[in-house]
């Protein structure tokens, strides 16, 4: 049997124990023999803490997996089979700025949507593209599995400008939606299938099947009366208007609340900011507690407290995908991949989030036809935002950056867009050399 080498860039992340657990659970069919956890100097303490926990988890399992910790990315990447990226350029302090600054101007500040998502992309894209250059040199046959948010924009950037085309973007939201639907129906999730189509954090459940029978209308009726059925930790749970959901006829993801309940979300965010700070500050406190747990020499499992961080199902998402590519399983999973006609109204070369057959050659997106007319416009607007964001991030073009900021639906005007853009460029100057040549 082959021995697989997996490299995790951003290995000091609090999510890493989820991955280790996932590889341990699947070791009988996914023979991972080396896991290299890579981080930067600023993340060295976290890397060592998480790395020691990973070693204890592997030791408890009794499996022949070697855990390596390093700050040397090139050394880690040599002859890798799979590379996982879960990085945060600028660390949580940058996220806090992404969330705080827009709120000053009455605009939602959020990690992956609106101005915050745009600036996370600006900081991240150049780093990810550098990683693909290293991969081309050191592990040209490896698959890049990208968790880093905003996952759709990052995958779009690599597909357009990267040194590898072997990339799949991954998000836990569709998996969480399917799990939530199964819980609503009070059945095991293996009996539930969902046709997913859209973009990352802009994905819809077009059809829901229980044991092969279409139960979409029934599920929509149930969601109307249970706002927490399909939710994530970092998006406020707000009731949907029943008639609106029924009128849509498709199942929205939690992030759609930012677009269909904008004012209510903004008011809740401002209220939360006054009480507890922005979400990034809350996460900072959660992470502090998590890493104190991770330092316990007796801990040798993924602690249940990790779910408060918002990372539920990550191990299932990443490890199932890697398992299916390696074993050519040809099962169906929702991933971020090249459209290739799967969603009719979007360009064939655009990155979409869609149910796909997973093969050893990568994802084959399932043709969904088209999105309903009433959601098509919003999805197209977000795709135009994503493409403008990628171009601005790569070129450092201020005009393209302002275009991207202004056409995002969460930003009300070009005047406000410019004020926010200028302040955020200055706030993140250290991580945006492309804009300050």
Residues acting as catalytic residues: 255
Residue 110 has φ and ψ, to the nearest 5°, of -145, 150
Partner residues linked to 49 by β-bridges:
none
Residue 213 CA to residue 389 CA, distance in Å, equals 40
Q: Which two tokens stand for residue 316?
A: 């299932």
The residues that bridge with 4 in the sheet, in sequence order, are: 32
Strands 362-365 and 351-359, bridge-based pairing: antiparallel
What does the alpha-carbon distance between residue 290 and residue 181 come to, in Å, rounded to a whole number? 29
Task: Tell me the helices (H) and strands (E) count for the chain, helix number first.
Answer: 16, 13
Separation of CA 108 from chain center = 19
Q: Where are the alpha helices (DSSP H) in 105-238?
A: 114-138, 151-161, 173-185, 216-224
Q: Provide the 3-class DSSP secondary structure of residue 29.
A: coil
Q: How far is CA 59 from CA 31, 68, 261, 390, in A?
A: 16, 14, 48, 42
């Amino acid at each position: 049997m082959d021995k697989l080498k997996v490299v995790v860039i951003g290995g000091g992340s609090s999510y890493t124990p989820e991955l280790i657990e996932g590889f341990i659970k699947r070791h009988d069919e996914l023979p991972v023999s080396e896991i290299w956890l890579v981080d930067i100097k600023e993340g060295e303490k976290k890397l060592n803490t998480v790395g020691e926990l990973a070693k204890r988890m592997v030791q408890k399992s009794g499996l022949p997996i070697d855990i390596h910790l390093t700050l040397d990315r090139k050394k880690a990447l040599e002859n890798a089979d799979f590379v996982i990226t879960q990085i945060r350029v600028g660390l949580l302090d940058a996220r806090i700025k992404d969330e705080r600054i827009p709120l000053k101007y009455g605009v939602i500040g959020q990690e992956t949507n609106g101005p915050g998502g745009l600036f996370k992309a600006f900081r991240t894209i150049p780093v990810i593209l550098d990683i693909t250059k290293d991969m081309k040199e050191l592990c040209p046959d490896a698959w890049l599995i990208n968790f880093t948010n905003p996952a759709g924009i990052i995958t779009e950037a690599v597909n357009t400008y990267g040194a590898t085309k072997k990339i799949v973007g991954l998000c836990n939201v569709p998996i969480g939606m399917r799990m939530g639907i199964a819980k609503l129906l009070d059945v095991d999730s293996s009996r539930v299938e969902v046709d997913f189509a859209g973009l990352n954090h802009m994905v819809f459940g077009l059809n829901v099947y229980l044991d092969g029978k279409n139960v979409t209308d029934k599920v929509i009726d149930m969601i109307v009366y249970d706002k927490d059925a399909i939710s994530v930790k970092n998006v406020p749970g707000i009731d949907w208007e029943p008639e609106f959901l029924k009128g849509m006829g498709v199942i929205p993801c939690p992030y759609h609340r930012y677009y269909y309940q904008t004012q209510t979300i903004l008011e809740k965010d401002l209220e939360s900011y006054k009480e507890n700070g922005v979400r990034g500050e809350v996460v900072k406190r959660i992470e502090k507690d998590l890493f104190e747990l991770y330092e316990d020499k007796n801990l040798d499992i993924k602690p249940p407290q990790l779910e408060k961080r918002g990372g539920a199902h990550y191990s299932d998402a990443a490890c199932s995908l890697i398992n299916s590519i390696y074993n050519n399983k040809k099962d169906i999973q929702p991933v971020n991949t090249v459209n290739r006609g799967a969603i009719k109204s979007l360009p064939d070369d655009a990155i979409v989030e869609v149910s796909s057959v997973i093969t050893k050659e990568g994802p084959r997106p399932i043709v969904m036809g088209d999105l309903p007319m009433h959601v098509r416009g919003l999805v197209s607007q977000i795709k135009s935002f994503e493409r403008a964001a990628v171009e601005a991030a790569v070129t450092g073009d201020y005009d393209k950056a302002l275009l991207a900021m202004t056409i995002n639906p969460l930003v009300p005007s070009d005047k406000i867009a410019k004020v926010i853009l200028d302040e955020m460029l200055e706030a993140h100057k250290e991580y945006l050399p492309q804009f300050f040549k």
